[in-house]
Amino acid sequence: MFKGFYTAASGMLAQQRKTEMLSNNMANSTTPGFKADQSSMRAFPELLQQSVRKNAGGAVEKAQIGYLATGVYMQEAIPKFTQGDLNQTDLNTDLALVNGNVPGNGTNLSGGLFFSIQNANGEVAYSRNGNFTLDGQGYLTTASGLRVLNENNEPIQLTSTDFSVNSDGVVTGSNGEAYRLGISYTDTPEQLVKQGDGLYQAQEGAALPSAYANNEVTFQIKQGFLENSNVDTAQTMTDMMTAYRAFEANQKMLQAYDKSMDQAANEIGKI
pLDDT averaged over every residue in the chain: 88
On the question of pLDDT at 269 being above 60, the answer is no
pLDDT value, residue 27:
95
- Would you kindly state where each structural domain of the chain is located, as residue ranges? 2-29+70-74+231-270, 80-227
Give me the pLDDT at residue 259, please. Answer: 79
Mean pLDDT on 208-232? 95
**In this predicted structure, what is the pLDDT of residue 44?**
67
Question: Residue 81: which residues within 8 A CB-CB, separation 6 or more?
Answer: 35, 110, 112, 189, 190
Instruction: Compute the CA torsion angle 228, 234, 237, 242 (nearest 10 deg).
Output: -130
- Alpha-carbon distance of 91 to 154, in angstroms, equals 23
Question: What is the predicted pLDDT for the residue at 60?
Answer: 76
In the predicted structure, residue 270 carries a pLDDT above the cut 70: no
Mean pLDDT lowest for which of 72-76, 89-93, 157-161, 222-226?
72-76
Report d(CA 162, CA 98) in Å as an integer. 22
Q: Residue 172: left (phi > 0), alpha (psi -120 to 50), or beta? A: beta
% of the chain residues with pLDDT over 90: 58
**Any idea which of 14-18, 49-53, 201-205, 250-254 has the lowest mean pLDDT?**
49-53
Is pLDDT at 266 greater than 80 in this prediction?
no
Q: Mean of the pLDDT values across residues 102-128? A: 89
The predicted-structure confidence for 25-84, as pLDDT tens digits, reads as follows: 999 999 999 999 998 877 766 666 667 777 777 777 777 776 666 678 787 788 999 999
What's the rounded Cα separation, in Å, for the pair 181 and 165? 9
Distance CA 119, CA 15 (A): 33
Amino acid at 265: A
Which pLDDT score is estimated for 10? 84
At residue 67, the pLDDT reads: 62
Cα 270 to Cα 144, 263, 265, 266, 267, distances in angstroms:
66, 10, 9, 7, 5
The pLDDT of residue 220 is above 90: yes
Per-residue pLDDT reduced to its tens digit, 119-176 = 999 999 999 999 999 999 999 999 999 999 999 999 999 988 899 999 999 999 988 8
- The CA-atom distances, in angstroms, between 70 and each of 6, 67, 76 are 8, 10, 19
At 140 the pLDDT is: 96
Q: Indicate the DSSP class of residue 100.
A: S
